[in-house]
Amino acid sequence: MFEQTPVKTAAVAATIAALAAYAIFGGYFSREIVIEIAILAILAISLDFVAGFGGMISLCHGAIFGLGAYTFAVMTAMWDQPGALAALAAILVATAFGLAVGAVTSKTTGIFFIMATLAFGQMVYVATFESQWLGGDDGMSGVARFDLSPIGIELGDSLQFALFCLAVLGTAYALLAMVLRAGFGQTLIGVHTNEDRMRALGLSTWRHKAAAFAISSAVAGAGGVLAAQHTQFVSPELMVWTLSGEVLVIVILGGIGTLVGPVIGAAVLILLKHEISTYTDHWHMFIGVVLIATVLAGGRGIFGQIEHLIAGGGRGAGRDA
Amino acid sequence: MPGGADFWITQFLNGLQFSMLLFLLSIGLTVIFGLLHFVNLAHGALYMLGAYVGVSAAAHLGGYWSALVLGPLAVMAIGIVLYLTLIKRMRRAGPMNQVLVTFGLIFVIVDIVRILWGDVALGLAEPASLSGPIQIFGVSYPAYRVFVTAVGLVVMIALSVVLNRTQIGAMIRAGVENDAMAACLGINVERLFFLVFCVGCALAGLAGVIAVPLFSATPGMGTDILIPTLIVVVIGGLGSLNGAILGSLIVGFIQTFGAVVTPGLASVLVYVLLAAVLITKPAGLLPARG
């Protein structure tokens, strides 16, 4: 069961508020960090939606994110389309790709599902890497940010863009929480808990999983739209499978199957990354140790552990899936 | 279309040689998969460790042959440490946790290698006796590459004899088929797991050492080889020797010939093949279980 408990609401609101304060009172550098956190958090909650609640560990979410970014870049930088239309197209392309991948892979489970999503993600990555039309290895520059000047918002300014990204993150979180609380989400969790029983109840489980994957992809695509606007540049690096792996690390660290956890995980991991990178070059070793320690400690992650403690160390409220 | 018959023979030999390297890596991974139900993403990192230990062994103890002996032994020792500290307790933790822990191990091992050996690519000279070209099927081909192919073939034949003709092989096959039943019949499955894991690690180290003269040792080599190896394992079928052989040949030849015939599309072809196999035959082409 997924419940948007008061603890969850408080945690997500506090995290977003703290990030907003950090952006407002910090300098240019802290604003860039907040933007990075917000975008990765959007990607991470989209992954948690399928991985934590549907049991689908996807290694192609980086590629879906990249598809959104590239579609947005092609529409604005190459075809001179307005930003709103480009964003819509990007989300549609990401959703369609997610639906296709979900439909094809949802009958496989466990390591086979992981490998299948890896295959589809890498196909997109390699195809983009080799495509001259999309700039190949060099990527594509000249992506414009949304023009919100008619309503008095100037996204060229890093503070306003940071706050805008946080607003999108909040919206994405609210949308996914709504879907999870609705019948669709409860059914998805049911499929994850006992797929045979759901099938026996008359549900076409693969279709339900494919639809969930498509919803998650729409959110990942929206994250890609922001990523393209952030650096105003897209490259195949957005799509490589290790990015999907790092986002999975964020989900695990924050608490898989909690939806709030990945937001906290993104903030903690990115802040630590910038802190540690000033002292040492070996930031990845730190990620590795944190990941191993998190899994060995029971795999609850930061927020899962908090919920576990609140629940009195009994049945963790967060481990619903 | 470039070249005549010589060109294609050379490409065929290249494909065979790359397939054998993939085979050395994938056989360990697939049997560990099949027997222990353990997804070891760090297998590629062990291959990299083999390469670096080999480079150091050759530099300090004189020559390639010491590397060829010490590389696999060192990786086996590291594998034993990993088995006792992490892998044993992750055995029943489910594929997701195994993927995560071994993904974390990749990060740790890569950074340890960068600290100990640095970020630069290190080379290892092939032994003098294998440095020149030799004549094979009427073309001039580097002797060292023939040696790599031969090592792969010898290991392949040795493993297939052990697995198909000896008692320990029968026990391993029984364990892959049904480990609980094998344990009931009096086979010490735990000890078997440990043995198989050690051999798998040693083969990864061996592949690492013999790969250095061809590609040099770099901190990225383990991650680069991991994906093709996993593809071989999944295409072939988990836990299956014949599957690993078939999968290595398919992936090795597609990558080699694809790079010549349709440069750029070669890597996509492998992923298309993987997706097609997963959709039509999810258990792989030659699964170990009936």
Amino acid in the structure at residue A170: G
* Contact present, A163 and A152 (Cβ < 8 Å): no
Report the alpha-carbon distance of residue B102 to residue B108 in Å, rounded.
10
> Does the pLDDT of residue A321 top 50, yes or no?
no
| pLDDT of res. B289 | 64
Task: Name, in order, each residue with C-beta under 8 angstroms of B271's C-beta and a sequence gap of 6 or more.
Answer: A119, A120, A122, A123, A126, B231
Nearest by CB to residue A288, choosing from B107, B114, B223, is B107
Token pair 């650096």: residue = A231
Q: Distance, in angstroms, between A42 CA and closest chain B CA?
A: 21
> Does the pLDDT of residue A320 top 50, yes or no?
no
Contact A115 B279 (CB under 8 A): no
At A316, the pLDDT band (50, 70, 90 cuts) reads very low
| pLDDT of res. A83 | 85
* Contact present, A221 and A67 (Cβ < 8 Å): yes
Q: What's the pLDDT tens digit per position in A77-115? A: 889 888 889 999 999 999 999 999 999 888 887 778 888
Q: Which of residues 11-40 of A touch B (CB under 8 A)?
A: none
Q: Distance, in angstroms, between B197 CA and closest chain A CA?
A: 19
Contact A288 B278 (CB under 8 A): no
Q: Which residues of B touch A120 (CB under 8 A)?
A: 271, 275
* CB proximity B100 to A under 8 Å: yes
Of A213 and B259, the structure prediction assigns the larger pLDDT to: A213
* CB proximity B231 to A under 8 Å: yes
Q: Which of A111, A123, A246 is most worth mutating to test chain B (most B CB atoms within 10 A of its CB)?
A: A111
* CB proximity B99 to A under 8 Å: yes
Task: Name, in order, each residue with C-beta under 8 angstroms of B226's C-beta and a sequence gap of 6 or more.
Answer: B41, B43, B44, B106
Of A1 and A247, the structure prediction assigns the larger pLDDT to: A247
At B179, the pLDDT band (50, 70, 90 cuts) reads confident
Contact A118 B230 (CB under 8 A): yes
Q: Which of A47, A105, A109, A123 is most worth mutating to test chain B (most B CB atoms within 10 A of its CB)?
A: A123
> Does the pLDDT of residue A315 top 80, yes or no?
no
Query: A63, A151, A155: which is closest to A100 by C-alpha?
Result: A63
Contact A291 B107 (CB under 8 A): yes
Query: A68, A128, A70, A58: which is closest to A94 by C-alpha?
Result: A68
Q: Which percentage of chain B shows pLDDT scores above 90?
A: 42
The sign of the dihedral angle between the CA atoms of A106, A109, A113, A115 is negative
Mean pLDDT score of chain B, rounded to an integer?
88
Contact A114 B95 (CB under 8 A): yes
Q: Which of residues 115-154 of B touch A (CB under 8 A)?
A: 115
Write out chain A in H/E/C secondary structure: CCCCCHHHHHHHHHHHHHHHHHHHHCCHHHHHHHHHHHHHHHHHHHHHHHHHHHCCCCCCHHHHHHHHHHHHHHHHHHCCCCHHHHHHHHHHHHHHHHHHHHHHHCCCCHHHHHHHHHHHHHHHHHHHHHCCCCCHHHCEECCCCCCCHHHCCCCCCHHHHHHHHHHHHHHHHHHHHHHHHCHHHHHHHHHHHCHHHHHHCCCCHHHHHHHHHHHHHHHHHHHHHHHHHHHCEECHHHHCHHHHHHHHHHHHHHCCCCCCHHHHHHHHHHHHHHHHHHHCCCHHHHHHHHHHHHHHCCCCHHHHHHHHHHCCCCCCCCCCC
| pLDDT of res. A313 | 58
Q: Does some domain include residue B11? A: no
Which H or E element spans position B136? Answer: strand B133-136
| pLDDT of res. B135 | 86
* CB proximity A57 to B under 8 Å: yes
Contact B111 A126 (CB under 8 A): no
Contact B95 A252 (CB under 8 A): no
* CB proximity B235 to A under 8 Å: no
Q: What's the pLDDT tens digit per position in B137-173? A: 888 888 999 999 999 999 999 999 998 899 999 998 8
Report the alpha-carbon distance of residue A54 to residue A126 in Å, rounded.
28
* Contact present, B77 and B12 (Cβ < 8 Å): no
The predicted model gives B217-234 an average pLDDT of 89
Report the alpha-carbon distance of residue B253 to residue B285 in Å, rounded.
17
Q: Does some domain include residue A288? A: no
Residue B127 exposure: Cα atoms within 13 Å on the Cβ side: 14
* CB proximity A99 to B under 8 Å: no
> Does the pLDDT of residue A305 top 90, yes or no?
no
Q: What's the pLDDT tens digit per position in B193-214? A: 899 999 999 999 999 999 999 9
Of B90 and B81, the structure prediction assigns the larger pLDDT to: B81
* CB proximity A241 to B under 8 Å: yes
> Does the pLDDT of residue A317 top 50, yes or no?
no
Q: Which residues of A touch B44 (CB under 8 A)?
A: none
Rounded to the nearest 10°, the torsion over CA B159, B163, B166, B170 is: 160
Contact B275 A130 (CB under 8 A): no
Of A87 and B132, the structure prediction assigns the larger pLDDT to: A87
Minimum Cα–Cα distance from B102: chain A residue:
A292
* CB proximity A249 to B under 8 Å: yes
**CA dist B169 to B38, B161, B194, Å?**
19, 8, 14
Q: Distance, in angstroms, between B275 CA and closest chain A CA?
A: 6
* CB proximity A119 to B under 8 Å: yes
ipTM of the complex: 0.83
Q: Does some domain include residue A295? A: no
Q: Does some domain include residue A57? A: yes
Q: Which residues of A touch B234 (CB under 8 A)?
A: 112, 115
Of A295 and A95, the structure prediction assigns the larger pLDDT to: A95
Q: Distance, in angstroms, between A83 CA and closest chain B CA?
A: 31
Q: Distance, in angstroms, between B5 CA and closest chain A CA?
A: 29
Token pair 């500290």: residue = B85
| SS3 state of residue B219 | coil
* Contact present, A217 and A99 (Cβ < 8 Å): yes
Contact B227 A122 (CB under 8 A): yes
Report the alpha-carbon distance of residue B73 to residue B53 in Å, rounded.
10
Query: A282, A321, A284: which is closest to A299 by C-alpha?
Result: A321
| pLDDT of res. B2 | 56
Query: A11, A139, A130, A33: which is closest to A77 by C-alpha?
Result: A139
Domains in chain B: how many in total? 1
Q: Distance, in angstroms, between B270 CA and closest chain A CA?
A: 9
Q: What's the pLDDT tens digit per position in B13-70? A: 999 999 999 999 999 888 888 777 788 889 999 999 999 999 999 989 878 899 999 9
**CA dist A157 to A145, B88, B197, Å?**
10, 52, 55
* CA A307 to chain CA mean position, Å: 22
Task: Indicate the length of chain B as a whole number.
Answer: 290
Task: Name, in order, each residue with C-beta under 8 angstroms of A137's C-beta and a sequence gap of 6 or more.
Answer: A129, A235, A236
Range of the domain at B76: 21-219
Report the alpha-carbon distance of residue A8 to residue A255 in Å, rounded.
12
Give chain A's largest Cα–Cα span: 57
Amino acid in the structure at residue B265: L
Range of the domain at A137: 13-240
Amino acid in the structure at residue A263: V
Q: Does some domain include residue A264? A: no
Q: What's the pLDDT tens digit per position in A197-254? A: 999 998 888 999 999 999 999 999 999 999 999 988 898 888 888 888 889 999 999 9
> Does the pLDDT of residue A319 top 60, yes or no?
no
Q: Does some domain include residue A71? A: yes
Q: Which of A283, A295, A296, A300 is most worth mutating to test chain B (most B CB atoms within 10 A of its CB)?
A: A295
| pLDDT of res. A318 | 43
| SS3 state of residue B139 | strand
Q: Which residues of B touch A242 (CB under 8 A)?
A: 223
Q: Which residues of B touch A243 (CB under 8 A)?
A: none
Query: A223, A221, A216: which is closest to A68 by C-alpha?
Result: A221
* Contact present, A117 and A105 (Cβ < 8 Å): yes
Q: Does some domain include residue A19? A: yes
Nearest by CB to residue A284, choosing from B93, B111, B267, is B111
Q: Which residues of A touch B112 (CB under 8 A)?
A: 285
The predicted model gives A286-301 an average pLDDT of 87
Domains in chain A: how many in total? 1
Phi and psi at residue A53, in whole multiples of 5°?
Answer: -105, -25
Report the alpha-carbon distance of residue A26 to residue A5 in Å, rounded.
31
Q: Which of B91, B113, B278, B279 is most worth mutating to test chain A (most A CB atoms within 10 A of its CB)?
A: B278
Minimum Cα–Cα distance from B233: chain A residue:
A115
Q: What's the pLDDT tens digit per position in A15-53? A: 999 999 999 998 888 999 999 999 999 999 999 999 999
